[in-house]
Amino acid sequence: MRQTGAVTPEPLASTLDEQAAATRDAGERAFAAGWKLVATDLDGTVIPRDRPLSARTLAAFAACAEAGISVVPVTGRPPRWVTPLAEEAGLRGQVVCANGAVVYDLDRDEVVRQHELSRDTVRQVAERLRPVMPGIGFALEAVGGFRREDAYATRFDTGLEARVGGLEELLSDSPPIVKILAKCPGIPSDEMLERAVAEVGDLVNVTHSNAVDSLIEIMRLGVSKATTLADVAADRGVTAEGVVAFGDMPNDLEMLRWAGRSYAMADGHADAREAADDVAPACGDDGVAQVLERLLSWRGR
């Protein structure tokens, strides 16, 4: 039977978009008043997979610095992969590296904090993971360089390894290990992460930063981007409420949840988008720069 009488129309998409934008603007305006620090992941967040940092992103970083807002890169990269980029971006001060396992001071050109894994922990991780991921290969990120098993195929550091051999050989000189990397071709990173957390989650912190490379990254238990960023921020008198964070992958989750305001990239991992307060445009569209420009504009009003 046909209904009569007034019918409430469905909200138009444009109306919903306007409501979402108004909610976002209100949150950003409130945050910007006490904003003191930018914490940003690098790869997939401000560095697209196929090109370097954009002029717009560099300009946004410079504008933040001019406004007295520190920019702290928080990355899974080791220090040796950060210094050339920092020079290009004009960054100074400290960088959180290796998913929180290292803090590197660009001005002093030295590691100022490190969270090491014991040799026994490295052995236990390998012993527990080999049965559940046959063919897995391990590499060790030490403060003094990178070393790997033969089964761990490299993409970037081939020929630059401090040592290649069996796990005991890699550990024989007691290097200060800050991160374990593990690859198992044929098993997606998300699945590797799930298996690893089940097997060694009581022993170490496991994450990944690349959904397609069959790669996981393992740090000391309790160490993450968030924990070390909190220490770096505290040294500057900054609490979580004054920090805006950007990320795109599972290794950013703790940081996105910790920061006073956080954004996952629109083209990032679904878990990152769920963890963040809001979503920034895609990395290739200068999403971080777009958000920083808005936040800076709110400070001036």
User: Given this model, what pLDDT does residue 6 score?
Assistant: 47
**Domains assigned to the chain:** 16-115+224-299 (3.40.50.1000), 119-220 (3.30.1240.10)
Place of tokens 């560099």: 58
**In this prediction, what percent of the chain has a pLDDT beyond 70?**
93
pLDDT at 295 (0 to 100): 97
- In Å, how far are 11, 35, 227, 240 from 69, measured between CA atoms? 39, 7, 20, 14
pLDDT tens-digit readout, 133-144:
999 999 999 988
Backbone phi, then psi, for 51, in 5-degree steps? -160, 165
- Phi and psi of 75, rounded to 5°? -135, 160
Enter the tokens of residue 273: 């988008």
pLDDT tens digits, 242-286: 999 999 999 999 999 999 999 999 999 999 999 999 999 999 999
Mean pLDDT across the stretch 52-59?
94
Closest C-alpha to 98, from 254, 190, 240, 209? 209
Q: Please check the confidence at residue 8 and state whether its pLDDT lies above 60.
A: no
What is the band of 112 on the pLDDT scale with cuts at 50, 70, 90?
Answer: very high
Cα 152 from Cα 181, distance rounded (Å): 9
pLDDT of residue 250: 98
Distances, alpha carbon 282 to alpha carbons 45, 59, 122, 277, in Å = 8, 18, 36, 16
Distance CA 193, CA 207 (A): 6
- With 0.85 as the threshold, say if the pTM is over it: yes
Task: Taking residues 96-102, report their average pLDDT.
Answer: 98
Banded model confidence at residue 18, pLDDT cuts 50, 70, 90: confident
